[in-house]
């Protein structure tokens, strides 16, 4: 594809739209700067060539116009000198030059249009490069902040998951406590009922044993004269 064929694409390129669609604007802006700088170097070379062609065709048009005017003046001089044949020859040459001049004008107009396009493209590329350079650090700073926010959001999400896990453990602990309380209650209910009479018998049996011991103690004291 020729440089002029790429003119419309480059001139209509919208940097903001390209950056909006980019997954990583920081990398995109660096790459776009490299691409634009490369394109600018090519555009400068092509623009210089097209402008040279414009000047060349303009010079040919001017030279042709001057030659047409010179033939006109020579025809007038020939008539003044009474040489109608010579005047006719000069006028014939003038017509040939005028016909060639019309084609030269078309060529110049095309070269001029191409030069205008190239100058516009050159100016836009220069403007885009300067714009990107001035915005590059700001965009990179914003991207860095956005990435930090994403990391913070990830940590927050992890904290939420931890809190959810703790809440789940709390629920399981409460459930375990309820199960333990239920088991204790069941064990208590399963115990044999207390026989109150048997308990009283044991009480008084111990009292009787204590009395017998006291009697034996008194007997020993008497025997020993204590």
Task: Give per-residue pLDDT as tens, 72-118.
Answer: 999 999 999 999 999 999 999 999 999 999 999 999 999 999 899 88
Q: Across all residues in the chain, what is the average pLDDT?
A: 77
- Return the ∠ at Cα 151 (arms to 148 and 156), rounded to 5°: 125
DSSP for 189-206, please give it: HHSPPP-HHHHHHHHHHH
The phi, psi pair for 178, rounded to 5°, reads: -65, -40
Residue 25, judged by CB atoms within 10 A of its CB (0-12, 13-18, 19+), counts as buried
Residue 125, judged by CB atoms within 10 A of its CB (0-12, 13-18, 19+), counts as buried
Q: What is the DSSP letter of 13?
A: -
CB 90 within 8 A of CB 53: no
Mean pLDDT across the stretch 144-160?
A: 64
Distance between alpha carbon 10 and the CA centroid of its chain, in Å?
A: 21
Q: What integer pLDDT is reported at residue 173 of this predicted model?
A: 72
Dihedral sign for Cα atoms in the order 100, 104, 105, 106: positive
If DSSP codes are grouped into helix, strand and coil, which group holds residue 2? coil
Q: What integer pLDDT is reported at residue 132 of this predicted model?
A: 78
Mean pLDDT across the stretch 158-166?
A: 66
- Least confident among 114-123, 159-168, 171-180, 204-213: 204-213
Q: Which of 55, 54, 94, 47 is nearest to 75 (CA)?
A: 94
Residue 67 has pLDDT above 90, yes or no: yes
Q: Which of 99-113, 137-151, 169-183 has the highest mean pLDDT?
A: 99-113
Mean pLDDT across the stretch 132-146?
A: 75
């Amino acid at each position: 594809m020729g440089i002029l064929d790429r003119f419309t694409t480059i001139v209509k390129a919208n940097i903001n739209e390209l950056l909006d669609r980019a997954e990583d604007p920081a990398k995109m802006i660096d790459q776009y700067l490299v691409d634009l700088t490369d394109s600018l170097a090519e555009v400068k070379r092509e623009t210089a060539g097209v402008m040279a062609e414009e000047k060349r065709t303009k010079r040919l048009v001017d030279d042709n116009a001057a030659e047409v005017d010179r033939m006109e003046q020579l025809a007038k001089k020939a008539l003044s000198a009474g040489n109608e044949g010579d005047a006719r020859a000069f006028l014939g040459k003038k017509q040939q030059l005028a016909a060639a001049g019309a084609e030269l004008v078309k060529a110049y107009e095309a070269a001029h249009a191409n030069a205008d396009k190239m100058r516009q493209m050159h100016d836009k590329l220069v403007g885009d490069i300067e714009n990107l350079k001035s915005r590059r650090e700001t965009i990179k700073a914003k991207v860095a902040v956005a990435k930090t926010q994403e990391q913070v959001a990830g940590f927050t999400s992890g904290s939420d998951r931890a809190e959810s896990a703790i809440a789940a453990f709390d629920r399981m602990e409460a459930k375990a406590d309820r199960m333990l309380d239920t088991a204790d209650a069941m064990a208590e209910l399963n115990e044999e009922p207390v026989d109150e009479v048997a308990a009283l018998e044991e009480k008084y049996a111990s009292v009787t044993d204590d009395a017998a011991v006291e009697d034996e103690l008194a007997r020993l004291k008497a025997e020993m004269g204590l």
